[in-house]
Amino acid sequence: MTAPRVYIEYPADASFQDFYCPACGAAILKANEARGDAACQHIDFLFIEELGEFRFIRPEFLAAARAQGISLVGIDRADADEFVDKLGDLKTGTTSVIFHVTTVGMSCCRSIAVTVVIGLDLYRPAAIVPESVT
C-alpha cells in the first residue's frame, strides 16, 4: 500500500502557517523554510519540488531508494510528480504519510508557488532513531 498523501495549499493572500509534525509536534517548516536537518525522528525526507532537491533524507530511506534504483539527483521539475510517486511507493507502512505543502508568494511582479514534500513515518520506535536526532 502506497503512503497516503495530504495536500495543503495556502492561497496567495494567506499568511503562511508553520507546519508541525502531527506525531510529536516538532516544527518542520517555519516561515516557509524547510529545515535542513531532521526536526524529529518521524521525518524520512524533505523535498523541494521546484528545485528538485532534498533538504533532508534519512539514511535508511536513502538506502531503500538506492536499492530500488531511484536516482536522487538531477530531478527535473517536470518529473517531480513521478519522482514523488516513486518515493511514495517506498513508504508502505500503515503509519506512513506524505504531505505536500504549497505556498504562493510574489517574485518580480508575478506569483510563484513552492511545494515542500514531507515524507513521515508517524510511528518510529526509539530503537531505530539515529543518535543525532533528539
Give me the residue spans of the domains in the chain: 5-123
One-letter identity of residue 107: S
Tell me, what's the pLDDT at 28?
Answer: 86
pLDDT at 116: 87
- In the DSSP assignment, the letter for residue 69 is T
SS3 content of the chain, % helix, strand, coil (to 5): 20, 35, 45
pLDDT of residue 11: 76
Identify the pLDDT of residue 1: 60
Residue 113 identity (one-letter amino acid): A
Q: What tens-digit pLDDT sequence spans the chain (134 residues)?
A: 678 889 998 877 776 678 889 988 888 887 656 555 667 888 888 888 888 888 888 888 888 888 888 877 777 766 677 777 777 777 666 788 989 888 877 677 777 788 888 989 888 765 444 444 43
Q: How far is CA 94 from CA 4, 56, 77, 121, in A?
A: 9, 22, 29, 9
User: C-alpha cell of 66?
Assistant: 538506492
Would you state the pLDDT for residue 7? 92
Position 35 scores a pLDDT of: 58
